[in-house]
Structure 1
Amino acid sequence: MTVLSNPRHPLVVTAYRDARALYGDHLVEGRPALAHSAAVAAALVRHVPDASAELAAAALLHDLPEFAPAGVDAKAFLAGRYGEETAHVVLALAGEHQALDQPDPPIETGDYPVLLLSTVDKAVAFASNIRRAEQTGDAGAYFAAKTALVGLLDYFRRYHQAGIGLLPVSLTDEYGHVIAQVDTALAAHRARHATPVGGASAPFAANSGRGW
């Protein structure tokens, strides 16, 4: 039994309803933001079956600071409705997302709930990208075109390494596997499109933002 099992914890029920109401038509990795957040919550309890209702609520609402309608104070809303733990984790993840615009995003490992949920979020997002890439019939070209993701791959690899020994093995294994799949697809693409001797190839250009 987890906090997502029926009958679901009341805090989780409320978080799902709030996410559905506040995310609107926003998308994450090509699918509704609510579907992405629900997948993150499901992955959380798969790797950590005894995850608290507060952390599951944070999973469901982790994109709220980015997608909340104008006039909604995400910090006050989360703290008042879900408590300080949920608010802290959600706002920390929002800070991580914003830091991806910086040249060398920091990686903090001292806050376990944040490290845990952030890693789950990344693993789910990578898995979603891989499914979409496979549907195109050319996964390498799909990823090569996602210059923001390509530019951040080293950061994502370092984030994976930072969690080893701290997070559940099932989670770090899953996260490492999806990163490796992207690396493999890109390597195959680059091999197919290698520049002939004497030519020059343009480097992948990284662009910023959540849309990696």
Structure 2
Amino acid sequence: MVQIDWYAWHRLYDRPKSKRAARLSQMQDLILRALDEQQGTPVNVLSVCAGQARELLGAVERFSRPQDVHAHLIELDPRNMEYAERALRDAGIGGVRTTVGDAGLRSHYEGIAPLDVLLLCGVFGNLTPQDIERTIALARAIVRPGGIVIWTRHRNEPDCVPQIESWFASHGFTGIHSGDRADPVAIAAHRLTGDGVPLPAEERVFTFIVGVAA
């Protein structure tokens, strides 16, 4: 299994001309658009495998109503969680709930619905195809009708992005942003236009294995 220091991994975001920093900016723009369209209060956001929540942080810092955003972060590395919680609170966010643990477990999602925005950034590239579909099924159970899922996935061969889009469609979602098809990483958004469903019965929804789908 690949071993990565996920706290140190985030330092590449601090290099303004890096590809990772450019992708981060794209994700932040998409999240900001999702926040801007939310009229209700509070705006409930969940970030899965949140890391340092750089994606959400950059959007909240430009959002006109940061105090209306209530975020739940699920992250395994306590150092990243400490960074994320402190940074979001400094940005004036309305509330932060944190769960330090394995985001692949169903129990972490009990009582979390309904979400306005669900972030699955940097997740699908580290799941098997079967676990990706199970995670999309989970999304349907925790996102409110009309809510938005924002996700990323590399386009390395075999390119799984078209299949992911198909799975979202089969679980009641409609694509609202697909990005540039020539980009090596898909940054996409889907809206739940179908009805909600109960949480899946199985406790293990997915297993995060670095590079398993590469």
**TM bracket, shorter-chain basis:** 0.3 to 0.5
TM score, norm. by length of structure 2: 0.38
* Structure ID, larger Rg: 1
Larger strand fraction of residues: 2
